[in-house]
Amino acid sequence: MGDCIFCKIANGEIPAATIYEDEEFRVILDLGPATRGHALILPKTHAANIYEMPDELVGKAMILAKKMAVRMTQALGCDGFNVVQNNGEAAGQTVFHFHMHLIPRYEKDGAMVSWKPGKLTDETREELLEKLK
Ligand code: 5GP
Ligand code: ZN
């Protein structure tokens, strides 16, 4: 992916504030942070989204998310932690290179990682169980 900005950042062609790096991933500070310390896990190989990610790399990304959550929580003293991963424009994805958001949370930080709960009706539950089970 010649013009993918996250490929360039992940592989060091464009500088970014890196807080962790190994052979397969780079973790950088988000330029438009939701909260203090908001970071992104970027794989060094291109995959647009979770559907395109090799299973093994998804597993490693999740393990890294856990490691970073522990490390960042200790270092920042945050009160909670969101791990968020968007796929597709409809889901809020704006950069089409797989990434995981690491969002430290602080009491009353006002960050919006939430939704208005709907209601699961009997009919929808049955329909979804049929489709998804
Ligand atoms: P998405 O909306 O695709 O899940 O998240 C994209 C994230 O990447 C946003 O939080 C945005 O602030 C961040 N971002 C976009 N471009 C850059 C960049 O060039 N450098 C860094 N560090 N973050 C970026
Ligand atoms: Zn890419």
Residues 30-82: tens digit of each pLDDT? 999 999 999 999 999 999 999 999 999 999 999 999 999 999 999 999 999 99
Cβ of 73 closer than 6 Å to ligand 1, yes or no, is no
Find all residues with CB under 8 Å of 7, minimum gap 6, and list them.
Answer: 1, 13, 44, 46, 97
- Output the pLDDT for position 1: 62
The residue to mutate among 31, 35, 36, 112, having the most atoms of ligand 1 within 8 angstroms of its beta carbon, is 31
Q: Label residue 2 by pLDDT band (50, 70, 90).
A: confident
List beta partners, residue 48: none
Q: Is the dihedral of CA 18, 70, 30, 56 positive or negative?
A: positive
Mean pLDDT across the chain: 97
Active-site residue flag, 99: yes
pTM, two decimals, is: 0.96
Q: What are phi and psi of 80, to 5 degrees?
A: -160, 180
